[in-house]
Amino acid sequence: MNQIMDGKKISNEIKNEIKQEVSELKEKGIEPTLAVVLVGEDPASKIYVSNKKKACEYVGIRSLSYLLPKETTEEELLSLVQTLNNREDIHGILVQLPLPSHIQEEKVIMSIDPKKDVDGFHPINVGALSIGKKAFLPCTPAGIIELLKRSDISIEGKHCVVIGRSNIVGKPISMLLLRENGTVTVCHSKTVNLKELCQQGDIIVAAIGKANFITADMIKPGAVLIDVGINRLENGKLCGDIDFNDCKDKVSAITPVPGGVGPMTIAMLLYNCVLGARQQGEE
């Protein structure tokens, strides 16, 4: 029987666990607080930020919004981050990406206090992940691992084929699958024998950004397919990087889009906020 991994249901279970933890922290006098910074009017970013804020509200995390005009200078943004770094009542800082082109993302990410970097994008956290030390894990990769674990799919010894090498998904999910004792192949736009490599994958993570890219002829029977893509078709519908209808009868498990990886990303953000609050509260 092939399994459709229900990210929405699993993320709700996690959110309810986090809700409990938040109320325990509040009893100790700590109110977990996330600062969310959005520069400009990118419609997709606005939806993501609004979903993150709603999820915070659901579990009882206080969220503070900083909605800045697209003309905001790099200096102004860096100065806001500095203020948020210094505020003891703020435990997590999230600067929504992408930023307008006149602002260097790397500079902004580097300016966030690693102890408040709930996205796990700061080089200190990236480095800690790569050598297996405790760190904030980036939310989408952490969500994928949690989704596999809670769906009773083991990673150990499996051939994991990751397609995409971004700093947000491809590279960190490769590190995490390796940490879980998977054997990892990372493919990207310059990979020549992509189809053959995909056909060898026990677990395939697709983070390409091309609608319905992975088709049934590219996978082996019984593979586990994880779809990180969110693509909008001309008819306005959302679809992933995996052709779900084409692949669904050949796999042992597959994530839908929407309702697969997306909700897990948000659950992990909440998890990181609580972790930050707990760690800073104990200092």
Query: Alpha carbon 6 to chain centroid distance?
Result: 16
Span of 12-20, 93-101, 225-233, 249-257 interacting with ligand GUN by CB under 6 A: 93-101
Task: Write the CA distances from 282 to 25, 30, 197, 275, 276, integer angstroms.
Answer: 11, 10, 47, 11, 10
Q: How far is the CB of 5 from ligand GUN (least distance, A)?
A: 20
Q: How many CB atoms lie within 10 A of CB 77?
A: 22
Q: Which is nearer to ligand GUN, 155 or 269 (CB)?
A: 269
Q: How many CB atoms lie within 10 A of CB 71?
A: 10
- Rounded Cα gap, residues 91 and 87, in angstroms: 8
- Rounded Cα gap, residues 269 and 119, in angstroms: 7
Ranges within 94-123 binding ligand GUN (CB under 6 A): 94-97, 119
**Angle at Cα 151 formed by Cα 197 and Cα 17, nearest 5°?**
130
Q: How far is the CB of 160 from ligand GUN (least distance, A)?
A: 21
11 part of the interface to ligand GUN, by CB under 6 A: no
Span of 92-100, 143-151, 191-199, 227-235 interacting with ligand GUN by CB under 6 A: 92-100
Active site (annotated) includes residue 117: no
Q: Which is nearer to ligand GUN, 28 or 232 (CB)?
A: 232
Q: Which is nearer to ligand GUN, 194 or 275 (CB)?
A: 275
Q: Which is nearer to ligand GUN, 119 or 243 (CB)?
A: 119
DSSP letter assigned to residue 215: -
Q: How far is the CB of 175 from ligand GUN (least distance, A)?
A: 16
Active site (annotated) includes residue 119: yes
The footprint of ligand GUN on this chain (CB under 6 A) covers a number of residues equal to 8
| Catalytic residue, candidates 6, 119, 202, 243 | 119
Q: How many CB atoms lie within 10 A of CB 127?
A: 12
| Cis amide leading into 221 (omega within 30) | no
Q: How far is the CB of 140 from ligand GUN (least distance, A)?
A: 6
Task: Write the CA distances from 226 to 30, 262, 264, integer angstroms.
Answer: 36, 11, 12
Q: Which is nearer to ligand GUN, 96 or 280 (CB)?
A: 96
144 part of the interface to ligand GUN, by CB under 6 A: no
Ranges within 162-181 binding ligand GUN (CB under 6 A): 168
Q: Which residues contact 280 (CB under 8 A, 6 or more apart)?
A: 88, 91, 115, 116
Active site (annotated) includes residue 42: no
Q: How far is the CB of 119 from ligand GUN (least distance, A)?
A: 5
List residues bridging with 33 in a β-sheet: 62
Active site positions, annotated: 52, 96, 119
Question: Interface with ligand GUN by CB under 6 A: which residues?
Answer: 94-97, 119, 139-140, 168
